[in-house]
């Protein structure tokens, strides 16, 4: 009998009876602006460390179970984000930030030992259209390993690459896409 160890994109039915995660609604007025990192005036060398910090913050927030949508780093995630989480080779789909945070909350509840450790981070800023903010994107590549999750218990590390695509809009950089790529080589190794 096959066991499905995929992480759901939508909160699973098994969450019935589990207290709703402390996810606050979107803030109505956000004063956190990245105007000094506007791609029309900032260099790649200025933008890259900022996006790395946001991405590391997302991993840290998952590890510390901070799922407050109105706080950093989540204010840098678009209200609708495209992800391949739980969709594998079938492609990606768009989910709401609230649903994504609910899945992370469920993951932390169901697998309290689940942790992500970052091995390395690389940032690529694409400024092909310097004159147009619409054309400016960036990708953050995180080489990481997770342990204590579904299908890989504590002591077994699952290696993967997490790619966040960011776009600049409304005065700040927002993660608009997340892609998970299973690691190469030894897929799961003892910790």
CA distance 157 to 49: 27
Whether residue 1 lies inside any domain: the answer is no
**Does the pLDDT of residue 159 top 60, yes or no?**
yes
Whether residue 20 lies inside any domain: the answer is no
pLDDT at res. 81: 93
Q: Which domain holds residue 127?
A: 38-190
pLDDT at res. 33: 57
Number of domains in the chain: 1
pLDDT at res. 125: 92
pLDDT at res. 35: 57
pLDDT tens column, 2-29 = 444 444 444 455 444 434 444 333 333 3
Per-residue HEC secondary structure of 98-162 comes to HHHHHHHHHHHHHCCCCEEEEEEEEEEEECCCCCCHHHCEEEEEEEEEEECECCECCCEEEEEEE
The SS3 of residue 184 is: coil
H or E segment to which residue 48 belongs: helix 44-64
The CATH number of the domain holding residue 42 is 3.10.450.50
Q: What is the mean pLDDT of the chain?
A: 78
- Whether the CB-CB separation of 119 and 157 falls below 8 Å is answered with no
């Amino acid at each position: 009998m096959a066991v499905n160890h995929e992480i759901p994109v939508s909160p699973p039915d098994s969450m019935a009876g589990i207290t709703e995660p402390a996810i606050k609604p979107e803030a109505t007025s956000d004063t956190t602006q990245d105007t000094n990192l506007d791609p029309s005036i900032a260099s790649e060398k200025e933008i890259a460390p900022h996006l790395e910090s946001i991405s590391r913050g997302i991993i840290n927030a998952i590890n510390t179970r901070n799922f407050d949508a109105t706080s950093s780093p989540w204010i840098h995630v678009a209200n609708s984000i495209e992800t391949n989480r739980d969709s594998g080779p079938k492609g990606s789909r768009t989910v709401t930030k609230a649903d994504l945070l609910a899945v992370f909350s469920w993951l932390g509840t169901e697998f309290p030992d689940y942790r992500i450790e970052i091995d390395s981070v690389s940032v690529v800023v694409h400024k092909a259209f310097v004159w147009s903010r619409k054309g400016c994107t960036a990708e953050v590549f995180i080489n990481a390993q997770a342990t204590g999750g579904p299908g890989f218990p504590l002591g077994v590390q699952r290696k993967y690459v997490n790619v966040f695509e960011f776009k600049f809009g409304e005065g700040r950089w927002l993660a608009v896409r997340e892609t998970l790529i299973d690691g190469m080589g030894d897929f799961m190794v003892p910790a």
